[in-house]
A and B are shown apart, each in its own frame.
Chain A
Amino acid sequence: MDREPLIHRKTAISYKTEEKTVMRGYDLSELAEEGYSFCDALFVMYQNRIPTAEEEKMLKYEMGVFMEHSMSPSAVAAIGVSAGRPNLPCAVAAAVSTFGGVHGPGAAHGYMLNKYLERAKKEGKTVDEMAKTLVDEYMDAGRPVMGMGQPQHIDSDPRAEPIHLRQEELEIEGVYLEFQRALEKHFHARRKKEGRSYVGVNVVGSGNTALMEIGFSPNAGWCLGSVCRGFSCAAHALFNMKKGRAWGASRNEPMVQMIDLSMIKYLGPEDRIVPKQEDRQEYARKQKEEGEYKKWVI
């Protein structure tokens, strides 16, 4: 059996021989035998260190509370993909890939915190002053402040504040939590001053703050969150594959299905005749000149 490497790369993450698999210097089997947790292993993977017990507890909490979120874009993607009955990993991969600039934007939030903390240092401002600067700059520009607001949990995200509290209880508050708390304070104050409704912190705002606090980079934190969600999305896909209808369009189900024809609402151009080829040039030229098509261009 060919056991040659698939690609030739230097890597500081791990190596694997016939005898063992070693990650950041630790034999994986030894790590498990010693009784470390999977969350401990993630610290070794991303930070090359064994975490404190409190840090491990924080990660365990954050991942646990983030894993399941019922119908979010990620679960919907997994269910949508599973409707065609590909292999299960396709649905899970799609779910993880939904995490972008809006759905669970962990890295974006992390980079935002890092950028403004760097500015605080450079500009000689306190954390509180810089948090206000961030809020003002984002809101003046009409940009959403990362980590604030959730479209479904409109009162307050049930995961968010408890994560902050747990971080405080575990006594692992640092500059990130200080910054995030200050950001929230100034965000609430500005919205109140502008007569706008209350918008609470979301799970990215608190969860990612905790992840950054315990040493994960923005991208590492993003990976932990989005991949963790993959666990539950796989369960949703599996439920639909084992107990649901393929395609999601059957008319024999008592409930209208996800992509039943009646679920389609069309807002595009009126029904029209396809031009004959002999009329094509003139038709196309006129269409281009009139320019009405431009309102449909996406």
Chain B
Amino acid sequence: MGNLTEKPELNEKKGEIGNLDSPKNPFDYMKREYGTVPLDTKRAPFQWVSEVAYKNVHRIVSRGYDTTEVMEEGYGVVDMLFIDYQARIPLVEEEQMLNYVMILALEDGLSMPAVMSRMVAKSKTFLTQAAGASILAFGHAYGAYSAFGNRLEQYLNKAEAEGISLGQAAELLVKENIHDEALGVSNLMLKDPAAKRMMARAEKLGVAGKYIEFTKEIVKAAQKLSDEPVDLDMMGATGATMLDLGFSPEATWAILAVTRAFATGAHYIEEVERDGYCRTGQTLTPKEFYDGPEDRPVPPLKDRSKVAKSGICQSVDEWVAAREERKKIVGSGHSIVEEIEDPSKKSGIRKVGKL
């Protein structure tokens, strides 16, 4: 139970502490209570709430299915993804399609997740730390399935609400997002047929739906509007296929990031096997990599007032001018503008990153 109490014997002995007695404060700090908050008996006690799964001493149950029984009946991990995320057993063709997608998503060479895993590995960590870190590489540019999927939803809804055709909605989407990294159409797969084969497989298996249809329209629109040759890329093919399999944009994002983490474990292992670990201070950065201010003497501390320049801006004009100057300092962060909002509401739609 909690023990909230006034404790005047402590508060009265303290005297003045810093600005805590300032009349500008909207409170009397010295009258504040100590102790922890008692248990709230008027509301239900805390419990872990889940629609996904529960377990007891003898069973683990996901969406109503005992998971051991699911495996004993001949299902597998890919089926479990449908159960966990969609609360349903998939069609055989859907299971086949998700297997196909996951194989393609498993490995991507020395791409960012693999690099992150390798970098963490070099610090002599557990493998799980490196695999976990690799998942963080999935953002709104690389592996941006949430951004891609939510955009498709947004323009499909627009098409329905405004009564425009899929082609028109696709053209609008491309016009408004042509430079976005998660468009799903780019020059990355002009020589690699894998993306188109994935969609063809979805069609052959009969699992293609409105998202693949819409993505094809997006490809056509992008090819019409782009100055350079572009085609469907893996983001577009994978994102659209996953949506047609019934996964939400966020579920797609998570499933494919985790899928890649299986491979980044191998990259962790190879990095340790081949190159070993890296000590603090070991890695050098050659001067030729450096393009910051020239080497300069540190001014004597006694001269601080002569050399130091205040960063305080007294007016908006002054602030605007200072900000423009600060933007030139690479690594200061002044040239980046982000909107950090709750991604659970509209995940990945807002532009994140550089101006």
Contact = CB atoms under 8 A, between A and B. Distances in A.
Contacts of B35: 271
Interface stretch (A38-46, A114-122, A134-142, A288-296): A38-46
A50 interface: no
A85 B57 contact: no
Contacts of B349: none
A54 to B, nearest CB: 13
A70 B254 contact: no
Nearest to A104: B128
Interface string A16-51: 111111010000110111011111111001100000
A73 to B, nearest CB: 12
Contact of A41 (B36, B61, B103, B135): B103
A86 interface: yes
A258 B347 contact: no
A154 interface: yes
A86 B128 contact: no
A170 to B, nearest CB: 12
A243 interface: yes
Contacts of A17: 191-192
Contacts of B14: 273-274
Interface stretch (A124-132, A173-181, A222-230): A222-230
Nearest to B46: A256
A89 B136 contact: yes
Given A20-B192, A31-B103, A88 B253 contact: yes
Contact of B49 (A32, A224, A244): A244
Contact of A46 (B72, B79, B266): B266
A211 interface: no
A44 to B, nearest CB: 9
A264 to B, nearest CB: 5
B131 A264 contact: no
Contact of A97 (B2, B128, B250, B269): B128
B254 A32 contact: no
Interface string B62-95: 1000111011100111111101110000000000
A212 B66 CA distance: 26
Interface stretch (B255-263, B279-287, B294-302): B255-263
B54 interface: yes
B132 A64 contact: no
A67 B126 CA distance: 20
A242 B37 CA distance: 29
B127 A154 contact: no
A68 B84 contact: yes
A158 B15 CA distance: 62
A75 B269 CA distance: 25
Contacts of B127: 107, 219, 222-223, 226
B77 A16 contact: no
B107 interface: yes
Contact of A45 (B131, B257, B266, B344): B266
A260 B53 CA distance: 23
Nearest to B228: A1
B110 A7 contact: yes
B129 A256 contact: no
A53 B150 CA distance: 38
Contacts of B67: 64-65, 67-68, 159
Contacts of B266: 13, 45-46, 220, 223
A220 B104 CA distance: 19
Interface of B: 2, 7, 10, 13-15, 17, 34-40, 43-55, 57-62, 66-68, 70-72, 75-81, 83-85, 96, 98-100, 102-104, 106-112, 115, 118, 126-129, 131-139, 146, 186-188, 190-194, 197-198, 201, 248, 250-251, 253-255, 257-259, 261-263, 265-271, 274-275, 342-344, 347-348
28 contacts: A1-B187, A14-B107, A21-B192, A28-B107, A37-B76, A41-B102, A45-B106, A45-B263, A64-B67, A65-B68, A70-B53, A89-B138, A97-B128, A155-B57, A158-B59, A158-B68, A162-B72, A217-B269, A223-B128, A223-B266, A227-B262, A238-B250, A242-B344, A243-B51, A255-B43, A261-B37, A262-B37, A271-B10
Given A71-B48, A255-B45, 19 more contacts: A33-B100, A39-B77, A63-B77, A64-B70, A67-B67, A68-B80, A70-B54, A71-B50, A89-B135, A92-B132, A97-B132, A162-B71, A162-B72, A223-B131, A224-B262, A235-B254, A260-B37, A272-B10, A273-B10
